[in-house]
């Protein structure tokens, strides 16, 4: 399959991603008035390592030992509204280190665009229990919402055209950490 996008342009490097995560961690601690009853749930695939990084940053921001903030993952596969068009893709089971009842759950994802993945995550949570509050933390918010969903904590707002491609790569999965954007290639004009 031929990729019809331009060469990717880096918009965040590893250091900028790290600083964005640190800033979001401080925002989460402040919004939650501390870390009590806090649970981070990553939406696979890249939301899981982001949630782990964010939990570590929260531990440091709140002067707790590393590994104190509970972090898990939420499988949203069966709650997606595009199952008829796309085959089921297993990304690993839901893992909850603590019950979600009476917790403040922070859903963590890499890119927020249409809001459909977050909607599926909210449906999945309803099947599991009843948290006191649900918040959303994303590394990149690129706009183009199809549902009335808004992130509470954003690493970078990145206004894009819907035809552009935003790619998040993380060391834990891809061997390097960066966010890139590429634009569709313009067709070559024929000389007259």
Asked whether residue 190 is domain-assigned, the answer is no
* pLDDT exceeds cutoff 70 at 84: no
pLDDT band at 104 (very low <50, low <70, confident <90, very high): very high
The per-residue pLDDT for range 143-192, each reduced to its tens digit, is: 999 999 999 999 999 999 999 999 999 999 999 999 999 998 776 655 55
Asked whether residue 25 is domain-assigned, the answer is yes
User: For position 82, what pLDDT does the model report?
Assistant: 67
What's the total number of domains in the chain?
1
User: For position 184, what pLDDT does the model report?
Assistant: 86
**pLDDT higher for 85 or 109?**
109
User: For position 92, what pLDDT does the model report?
Assistant: 75
Percent of the chain at pLDDT > 70 equals 90
Asked whether residue 61 is domain-assigned, the answer is yes
Asked if 110 and 52 touch (Cβ cutoff 8 Å), the reply is: no
Q: How far is CA 107 from CA 9, 21, 100, 192, in A?
A: 28, 14, 12, 55
Asked whether residue 4 is domain-assigned, the answer is no
Q: What CATH number should be reported for the domain holding residue 130? A: 3.40.50.2020
Checking DSSP bridges between strand 9-12 and strand 178-182, what pairing results, if any? antiparallel
Asked whether residue 192 is domain-assigned, the answer is no
Token pair belonging to 113 = 């665009």
* pLDDT exceeds cutoff 50 at 1: no
Asked whether residue 58 is domain-assigned, the answer is yes
* Full domain range(s) for residue 120: 9-82+91-182
Asked whether residue 113 is domain-assigned, the answer is yes
The per-residue pLDDT for range 34-72, each reduced to its tens digit, is: 999 999 999 999 999 999 999 999 999 999 999 999 999
Asked whether residue 106 is domain-assigned, the answer is yes
Percent of the chain at pLDDT > 90 equals 82
Query: Cα-flanking dihedrals φ and ψ of residue 48, to 5°?
Result: -70, -55
């Amino acid at each position: 399959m031929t990729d019809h996008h331009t060469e990717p342009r880096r918009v965040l490097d590893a250091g900028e991603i790290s600083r964005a995560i640190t800033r979001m961690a401080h925002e989460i601690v402040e919004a939650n008035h501390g870390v009590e009853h806090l649970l981070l749930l990553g939406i696979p695939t890249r939301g899981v390592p982001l949630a782990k990084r964010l939990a570590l940053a929260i531990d440091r921001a709140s002067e707790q030992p590393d590994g104190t903030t509970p972090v898990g993952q939420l499988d949203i596969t069966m709650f997606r509204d595009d199952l008829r068009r796309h085959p089921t893709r297993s990304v690993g089971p839901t893992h909850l280190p603590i019950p979600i009842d009476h917790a403040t759950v922070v859903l963590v994802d890499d890119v927020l665009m249409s809001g459909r993945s977050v909607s599926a995550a909210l449906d999945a949570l309803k099947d599991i229990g009843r948290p006191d509050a649900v918040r959303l933390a994303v590394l990149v918010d690129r706009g183009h919402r199809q549902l009335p969903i808004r992130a509470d904590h954003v690493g970078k707002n990145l206004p894009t055209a819907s035809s552009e491609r935003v790619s998040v790569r993380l060391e834990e999965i891809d061997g390097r950490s960066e966010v890139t954007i590429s634009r569709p290639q313009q067709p070559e004009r024929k000389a007259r």
